[in-house]
Structure 1
Amino acid sequence: MQTQRTQLISTTLGTNRELVSFHFGTPGAGEKVYVQASLHADETPAMLTAWQLKRRLSTLEADGRVRGEVVLVPVANPVGLSQHVLGQFLGRFEANSGHNFNRSFPMPQAEALVARVGTRWTRDPRENARLLRGAVREMLAESTARNEFESLRLTLLTLAADADVILDLHCSLEATLHLYTSPASWPAIEPLARYLGANGVLLATDSGGQSFDEIHTLLWNEVRAVLGEETPLAAPNIAVTVEHRGQRDVSYETAEHDADAIVEFLVRRGVIEGEAREMPPLLHPATPLAGSEQFVAPVSGVVVYRAQVGAFLHAGDAVFDIVDPLTDVVTTVTTKNDGVFYMRRAIRFAYAGAPMGRVSGATAFRTGVLVGA
């Protein structure tokens, strides 16, 4: 295992942070897999899973079983880790700018990348993929970060730019284990969903948020469109966001389970030598993110959930009540979808218009930006 420490730009006098990455295997020996955890810094279940994964990878490497390259960043957001206000941990947004740590990631433009490769494009799709990844790394190396926030983003992008597989580990507020990925990545990601026991898989080519995992697959699509059919490009980078349940679901047992599932996935891909165990059944078919029903509180009051997170609901089922203790009015919100109640709000008081939770659905009906802030 090699440890790499990248100094981030110091935003204020007397402060300095670093991003630590752990590198297993040999670059170029096989597929490169990039794994990062807790880009939203207050999503600690992902961090514990990454720690368990690091322990397993260290043992596997010592046994000579790592056939590809794995780059692991267990603490992907040291900036957000320092953001505590009056005892509250605020790791989703950067305090100086208000930017979401996992939205609007900047990547080189497709036209510029195609021009960078120039006359070196070939008729070999795999060689073209290699050339594209090299061009992305070159252009990222030429980028200049102006502050700590941009420095963090640039470092993460550089570590992941030439990876074949990208696993971005997160969690939700209160949730069952679920995944977000693209239709193009889903066939390759399905074994991971099975090993994890994912209770939902949400698919979108472009959710509108430009999140870390999504920009890598989107870039491939954009470059392919510029190149045209005469210049073939291999399958896009495989990328997925894994939501490791809810913020309070921090235990050795769940972290060990999830780390073991990731190892099985890597064994199945040939990144780790061995024979993968038989895949468990897929708990629920993948559904479009545009088909998920997002609940908004119609009124303010005390929230009483009627449905358990992870439950499969049918259209018309009660999801939650909102109780007004001043007027005695109880407002019940029901679902229009058949699907999994995969995440919900953690605070049991709602203001009118507050996001309350989501139920997956098989039929797409939403358009525009499909993810929240």
Structure 2
Amino acid sequence: MTRIVSRFPLPPMSLGTERHLTVHAYGDPDAHPKAYVQAGLHAGELPGLLVLHHLIRRLDAGEDPILGQIVLVPVANPIGQSQLLRGQMIGRTSLADGTNFNREYPDLATAVGDAVAGRLGKDSETNVALIRDVFGEILADQAAHAEGEGAYLRLTLMRLACDADIVLDLHCDDDATFHVYLADHLWPDAADLPAYLESPVTMLANESGGNPFDESLSKLWFDLRNRFGAATPVPSACLASTVELRGGGDVGDALAEDDADRIYRFLQHRGLIGGDPGPVPELLRPATPLNGMEIVKSPLPGIVSYRVPLGAEVVTGQAIADLIDPTADDPAEGRIEITAGTDGFVFARKTHRFVWPGETIAKIAGGQSLAGRAGKLLTD
């Protein structure tokens, strides 16, 4: 299968340095449907990099025809890749300004809406094409005036994905099961994604707070549809999702090859690759609201000892861990039970078992919205 490799240079932030994005593309560059898949936006999250390595190998083998366009970016954050501190990669946030690399993407719905106002008609396909053209033009203009490497990187990634029908942003948590974030307005049409990925957790929100990469691409369509109404149909033309490939230690060829196969079959089902993907699997669990996700936090410093494993179904009030202070005068008083605040599925924990006050101990996907869960729904 013919693959085109392109390199997009980033503006240097200091003398004598140079970084670039490497992009692998298959199919006609003007074809649709188009899928865009990236990994390593949080640069130290390695499972996605290995998954895309195996997906590239699979596509190169040419066992099935490419029917649309597939764009892969195995390392979406060369800035984070270069941030080494005493032998550790600091790839989640920028050392220059402290910004999370998966936050603060520009919300361009208003700008795009102003530019297409009065130009949209009654044909949804024509409207989609116009909106994509204008979206790309605005991003190109902003990239031309971007200040700094980080801003330019964000805009370049958006430019590569802004006309895609499917966008998958591959991440991982600390110690976790597979889980998927999707927008409410994409559900249930997007249920085939977590089904093919065999994800036990799917969490839904139109706005999670902080403007992550996937929402900068999918929410625009939701906002434009609300702005212009039914007279000028604007579909949800971009299925964008953050896909969490378990935990940071879940890195290996066998697992990555299996995950690449799951993505491959999903793309087959969506008409990007020929061949038979097999029937859509049943969802492992129902989707749940993102504001029903409990982020269990530590009240004090100490050592965490978990009582329940990843994947456990728990109920409100159930002890899920003990927080231990080994310096306590009385060992019996040096233990605090940490309990679940909702019924749900424990999908994430900490690998390093020492915690500070306010640090996340676990995440539970609950089926009901939780009081006070509003605004920024994700952990930074």
Q: How many residues align?
A: 370
User: In structure 2, the residue corresponding to 1:198 is in which secondary structure?
Assistant: coil
User: In structure 1, the residue corresponding to 2:342 is in which secondary structure?
Assistant: coil
Shift of the 315–11 alpha-carbon distance from structure 1 to 2, 3 Å rule, reads same
User: In structure 2, the residue corresponding to 1:191 is in which secondary structure?
Assistant: helix
Shift of 1:109: 4.1
Shift of 1:279: 2.8
| Aligned residue type for 1:134 | D
Shift of 1:119: 4.2
Matched, 1:217 2:224: no
Whether contact under 8 Å (1:19, 1:78) holds in the other structure is yes
Matched, 1:75 2:75: yes
Superposition pairs of residues 81-96 of structure 1, within 5 angstroms: 81-96=81-96
Distance in 1 of aligned mates of 2:326 and 2:353: 14
Q: Which moved more, 1:156-165 or 1:348-357?
A: 348-357
Q: Deviations over 1:82-136 (max 9, x none)?
A: 11111222100011011100001014342x3233235432110111011001000
Aligned counterpart, 2:341: 336
Distance in 1 of aligned mates of 2:227 and 2:340: 42
Aligned counterpart, 1:278: 279
Superposition pairs of residues 24-173 of structure 1, within 5 angstroms: 24-60=26-62, 63=63, 65-110=65-110, 112-143=111-142, 144-173=145-174
Shift of the 331–140 alpha-carbon distance from structure 1 to 2, 3 Å rule, reads same
Distance in 2 of aligned mates of 1:341 and 1:118: 45
Shift of 1:205: 0.7
Q: Deviations over 1:28-80 (max 9, x none)?
A: 333011100010001001111111111112223xx561000011001001110
| Aligned residue type for 1:369 | K
Q: Which moved more, 1:133-142 or 1:278-287?
A: 278-287
Superposition pairs of residues 313-324 of structure 1, within 5 angstroms: 313-324=314-325
Alignment gaps of 5+ in structure 2: none
Whether contact under 8 Å (1:93, 1:101) holds in the other structure is yes
> What is the aligned-residue identity percentage?
41
Alignment gaps of 5+ in structure 1: none
Whether contact under 8 Å (1:184, 1:236) holds in the other structure is no
Matched, 1:226 2:233: no
- Aligned mate of 1:367, from 342, 359, 374: 374
Aligned counterpart, 1:8: 10
Shift of 1:141: 1.0
Aligned counterpart, 2:292: 291
Aligned counterpart, 1:351: 356
Whether contact under 8 Å (2:21, 2:75) holds in the other structure is yes
User: In structure 2, the residue corresponding to 1:3 is in which secondary structure?
Assistant: strand
> What is the Cα-based RMSD across aligned positions, in Å?
1.4
Shift of 1:254: 1.2
Aligned counterpart, 2:257: 256
Aligned counterpart, 2:192: 191
Shift of 1:288: 0.3
User: In structure 2, the residue corresponding to 1:265 is in which secondary structure?
Assistant: helix
Shift of the 350–367 alpha-carbon distance from structure 1 to 2, 3 Å rule, reads same
Return structure 1 stretches of 4+ with deviation > 6 angstroms: none
Distance in 2 of aligned mates of 1:282 and 1:270: 20
TM-score (normalizing by structure 2): 0.94
Whether contact under 8 Å (1:301, 1:349) holds in the other structure is yes
